[in-house]
Structure 1
Amino acid sequence: MRRWILLAALWLSAVTPACAAPPAPPQRILFVGNSLTYYGNLPATFAALAQANGHAVEAEMILEGGATLSERLADGSVQTALAGRRPQVLVLQERGGDLLCLGGRQRCEQSQHALQGLAEAARAVQARVLVLGTYQANAQASAALVEKEAAAARQAGAEYVEISQTLADLSRHQPDLPWYAEDGMHPGPALTLLDAIKLHHALYGMPEARTLEIDAPRYGANSGLQAVLRRADAAAPNAGTPPHIHYEHAQVERLVRALDHAARATDPAPATPSSAH
């Protein structure tokens, strides 16, 4: 009898599925920047791309038009969010041209100081820090900008995600894509998607192309955003802001292929996807 009981127990254990482990909590990622970051809602676009590729992400943001990282360091909003929310990743994007000293030497020194201060605050809560690059249309200015941004990121102990030279190359070969908004300066849908793919590559590896249906505001010129912490998919402050963002599979695939080809040309060794810590 004991033998039959043992056999029955073994049979039941074989046919009864094990209790599934609870899903891991989403990785919290905080975006800090200005209109270069909120046009097209980069935080929500990145989160949707990551989730479509199997990475649970919760994107939060402190974004305001024309804002500088120096202002965020001074007002303490980022430090408060880091301490209270404890994100795993902090993405910083400076106002365009500030690290290139276009507004004078003092401005780029302030920017460098802010990068260092915010990166130190992030490391205090064990957050990974990425500096997302800006862009310049002029070839000489673009090369100088990438050099300055990369050096500033290194000095702050952060990782640099280059944009300007990649944008110049892609827009030259694929001029039909909507790289810029109607004002000809701010990111259009293609540039927002480019930023999202580059960030995904830095954090997890090159994504697979997926159709993206994003239930989040598609911010533009009149965003109404102020420098307070909010979820990327929260309702927009201003009525009339489009509440949905859509990227067709073909759009995403086109950029993923181009960026994957560029990444392989730069680094022929296959990249191993990394998990943010």
Structure 2
Amino acid sequence: MRALASLLAALLCLAGCGTKAPADGKHERVLFVGNSLTYVGNLPAVFAAMANANGHAIESDMIVRGGASLTEPLKDGSIARALDGRRYAALVLQERGGDLLCGFGPESCADSSASLKAIARMAKEKGVASVVLLGTYQSMPSVSKVIVEREGAAADEAGIAYVEVSQTLQRLGGAQPALVWFDADGMHPGKDLTLLEAMLLHRQLFGALPAAQALVVDGPIYGVQSGLTGTLRAADAPAPKADTPRSIAYSADTTRSLLDALSADR
């Protein structure tokens, strides 16, 4: 797992370590595949903005649809077409919250695990340097531990890296209750959980946490009702719905408080 992360870090550093963007304007691309847990708050755009602010020239694409499992874009060929059409340095996968808990029936666990393995094989065959399973989260402490165990085991079986979210959210959420961890519906990620996930991905893919600085994300900041249909699109492409907010700003104080907590958590 560490070897994959190191390889990706080396590839991405060639494109822009130590600069805001390389002189030739070339960017490495990261593909996100997931569902509303991925697009609410537009994690792909937040991650790209954070990476660029820290000297890594990155553009994010995404294949996302509300309620979609990873099995769906695998079976309909969406992932294969995306990997055939563009060269990606990394592939970030996020499953529905209940699949690896068999929350959609006993077959959902088996389908999810099998799909992770198939996507990982496909990505490696097509030259993707790193494939990452980004974890989901559960509010009940006992269930949170189980989802982390199940997700970690599924990632290990697929031979890909795993970025744990749920137990970190349990710890940081209790310590910093004033942050916006959840959307108004109480289930989807709030803006600060999206920021936290971007930081965790930054650490996985570049080997270090980002700098404590203000961050402005220029891109649609999706809510639950996004209009997204599962087609490949750039993370900063215009939103299907005209009333979608077009940017979000994070203060230096917010990023510093999360980074301090993550640094102390290691």
Structure-1-length-normalised TM-score? 0.86
Q: Distance in 1 between matches of 2:170 and 2:215?
A: 25
Question: Which ranges in structure 2 are unaligned for 5 or more consecutive residues?
Answer: 1-21
Q: Secondary structure at the match of 1:40?
A: coil
TM-fit CA distance, 1:222: 1.4
Aligned counterpart for 1:242 among listed residues 221, 245, 257: 245
Aligned counterpart for 1:231 among listed residues 231, 234, 255: 234
Say if 1:176 and 1:22 are closer, same or farther in 2 by CA, change over 3 A.
Answer: closer
Q: Distance in 2 between matches of 1:143 and 1:24?
A: 43
Q: Distance in 2 between matches of 1:201 and 1:24?
A: 24
Q: Distance in 2 between matches of 1:228 and 1:49?
A: 24
CA offsets 1:203-248 (integer angstroms, 9 cap, x no match): 1111111211111001002100011110000000011000111111
Q: Secondary structure at the match of 2:188?
A: coil
Identical counterparts, % of pairs: 51
RMSD: 1.1
Q: Distance in 2 between matches of 1:23 and 1:174?
A: 42
Aligned counterpart for 1:218 among listed residues 210, 218, 221: 221
Q: Distance in 1 between matches of 2:146 and 2:241?
A: 37
> Residue 49 of structure 1 contacts residue 210 of structure 1 at CA under 8 Å; is this kept in 2?
no
Structure-2-length-normalised TM-score? 0.89
Q: Secondary structure at the match of 1:71?
A: helix
Mark the structure with the bigger radius of gyration: 1
**Match for residue 113 of structure 1?**
114
Q: Distance in 1 between matches of 2:59 and 2:171?
A: 31
CA offsets 1:93-148 (integer angstroms, 9 cap, x no match): 00011111122220110001111111111101221100000001111111010000
**Match for residue 7 of structure 1?**
none
Q: Secondary structure at the match of 1:257?
A: helix
Equivalent runs, 1:109-258 vs 2, <5 Å:
109-127=110-128, 128-204=130-206, 205-258=208-261
Q: Distance in 1 between matches of 2:46 and 2:139?
A: 24
Q: Distance in 2 between matches of 1:167 and 1:34?
A: 19
Q: Distance in 2 between matches of 1:156 and 1:188?
A: 29
CA offsets 1:148-182 (integer angstroms, 9 cap, x no match): 00000011111000000000000011111110000
**Match for residue 48 of structure 2?**
47
Q: Distance in 1 between matches of 2:95 and 2:211?
A: 28
**Match for residue 6 of structure 2?**
none
Q: Secondary structure at the match of 2:59?
A: strand
TM-fit CA distance, 1:24: 6.9
**Match for residue 38 of structure 1?**
39
Q: Secondary structure at the match of 2:91?
A: strand
**Structure 1 segments (4+ residues) deviating >3 Å:** 21-24
**Match for residue 104 of structure 1?**
105
Q: Distance in 1 between matches of 2:167 and 2:243?
A: 34
> Residue 40 of structure 1 contacts residue 188 of structure 1 at CA under 8 Å; is this kept in 2?
yes
**Match for residue 13 of structure 2?**
none
Q: Distance in 1 between matches of 2:23 and 2:251?
A: 32
Question: Which ranges in structure 1 are unaligned for 5 or more consecutive residues?
Answer: 1-20, 264-277
